[in-house]
Structure 1
Amino acid sequence: MSNQIASEKRGSTQLVALAILGMMFFSIGFALGINSYLIPLLKSELSISSAESYLVLAATFSAFLIFGYPASFVIARIGYKKTMALSFLLFSIGFYLYIPSGQMESLPLFLAASFLSGMGNTFLQATVNPYVTILGPIDSAAQRMSIMGILNKLAWPVAPLFLALVIGKSVDQVTFSDTTLPFYIIIGVFLLLGLIALISPLPEVKAVGEDEESADDCPYAAKKTSIFQFHHLLLGVLALFFYVGVETVALGTLVDYAESLGLANPEWYAWIAPVGMVVGYIAGIILIPKYVSQSKALVISTVTAIVGSLMVVLAPEEISIFFVVLIALGAALMWPAIWPLAMTDLGRFTKAGGSLMVVAIVGGALIPTLYGFLKDMFGAQNAYWLCLPLFLYILYYALKGHKVRN
């Protein structure tokens, strides 16, 4: 009876933790979704090129390169909850800077605001992703990450739609002064979320073998002296780097792509990729690990994304935007599958490994910027060719790379 009560208590605690973490993942997606609204706004208001407008994504995601690994030391020092609260404070400062950036029509200040927002995102990602991974059994981590992914990806289109509804204009009619009120609302909400994170009942969690006294439970990690000796992790970091880049292209370019195609109300096309990803996440929740292993799910997902990439670039231009849904459908389970495959057997290096994985999110800075250059040179549709070689590497990781040890 006591074992049953203890099991029910653990289950209840896990559900509460997942609910709080779901709120965090939604916040991450919402903050990133703001960029998809800012890109066409900056392009029209500042009269800059596509490549220059995509620098806001580069500024946001470059913070992951600089602060991703140091985040592990912050988490080790102050714990998960305080790091989450710090993240929301950084988010709020970054969002506040968007207001004077618009008033001054300053691209450098916009980039600085995006970088500060990216800092908040870095620290939050460095806490919530490892936390969800080790909150339960590692072989069902992709299932938990899929649940979080639904909330995260639904938030991407919510951000531009929220801005459009509060402002009351189509994005092609908006000026910088129109964005002041919605950003003040967003700042207030994020400060409240930081307070909730600080006082929440989230327990501190540790991976198998992370404590010195339990190091023998993870003999592979016990023999290591550096995080850079885990080859399956390093290959996973590269896979995650490519994945985040192409996912950001799929999620962050739709409004701009729709506008370049001359489609009415381009902000509504922001839903195409999130719908595909949500369908993929639901499949992951149902199928993993009962019917499909995490590695097999990654193989299936990558093949789907490869087919989607080819359809986008080869289909007639007027319908090509709708095939982005296949890229998104395939990409949905990449994040949930790559994380646990790369984080397996890290033992006492788990926090460091999680932070190293967060560094890979800088792919969201470099690859969309490259997409912007390709768009300027070859057109929006042809720029999607960029996705194909990146998905091919992820397919290699799904088949072979995650198994590499020594």
Structure 2
Amino acid sequence: MARALIILGGTTMGSGLLYVQTAQRLGLQPITLSADPTRYDHFAAKGAETIRVDTDDLDALIRECSRLRATYDIAGITSAADSFYATVGKLCRHFDLPGPNPEAIEQCLDKYTQRQLLAASGVPIPAYRLAANAADVEDSAAEIGLPVVVKPVVGSGSVGVRLCRTADEVVQHTIHLLGGTHIGRSSPRILVEEFAQGPLCVAEIMGKEVIGISTLDFGPPPHFVYHENTYPAVLTDEEHERISDISLSCLRALGLGWGPTNIELRWTKRGPIVIEVNPRLSGSPGPQMVKLASGIDLVAEHIKLAIGGNVNLRRRRSQTAAAQFLVPDRDGILDWIDGASPAASVPGVAEVKFYINSQTPIVRKGDYRDCIGYVIAASPTLEQSKAILRHALDLIHWSITPLRTNGQSDSKSI
């Protein structure tokens, strides 16, 4: 009987595909359960099995997993997305498999509850307020002081997150959130936060061990769209220790410590401030960069943990990885994009990924969905990796026909 790994849901832009491919490399049959398989990029992976099932219905998931047990030895159940991770924990409990604590995951995914628990444990976080309507948001912004970050209580990938510098921007974004689909299934709740200014660091954790820390840079405000990523971060020993200590305090405060966690912090004038705790691995290309720089395959180690195997988090190499996200600067129709092969052939380039093809509409959202690809380079030093990256990016070009124009094409080269 073949051993199978159940992967619940999926994530776009690479992470789900990493789990499928890594499961296959470990000798497991990946079986993905999803309510909408067409949304994800990894279901076309050769040899992967996909089953349509309502991922919001725990009983339906239990029935499907029970049915699969007649054909497969289900070695483990996991997910690449934190939105499914609490359900993963419940399924693991039902089938007596290793898995995360679903109650801890659920309280972590509620950003307001997460802030309360962190604050109660003395973890440094931005000033924050919970708001249920436009008046609450305006009052909260006035109490905290502009500029503020306004975001949904539930969500990921910077969806619905905006920096508001004026009272008018606060009102406009609140109207946008309350009138849209960003809030999720629960009652409309909005978090208003102090804007913590400083470099963004992300601690990558497996279990209760800090594997490493990366730095990320955003594009222009008011949105929070990643443009660059470097691993490991250039930090002093003291800075690394402070971030690690605070990150482990977050795990204790939230009841986490099984499986992957990534913690976003801003290094402010007050020192490290925790922006968000996510009970999952960072999205692509984060896991690839950790593997390139240290030899630690976080996806593989997470899967090993899920199937009750032996985890090896020993560093095997010491390199520096740098990545740049490909982000268009306008809406329109992508006429063409090329340069992947020449860029990938540059010595030191580890991966070139395009998420979209020619003739694809581009409508920027101000979140992770704006990214149309990335390039990763790795070498012994940060300076060398960035030089390799610049060389590769010079070979990538695209053309976008703007919307509502006379059809004239504008070319864009990174």
TM range (shorter): under 0.3
Instruction: Tell me which protein shows more strand as a share of its residues.
Output: 2
Instruction: Tell me which protein shows more helix as a share of its residues.
Output: 1
TM score, norm. by length of structure 2: 0.27
Return the structure number with greater relative CO, CA threshold 8 A, min gap 6.
1
TM score, norm. by length of structure 1: 0.27
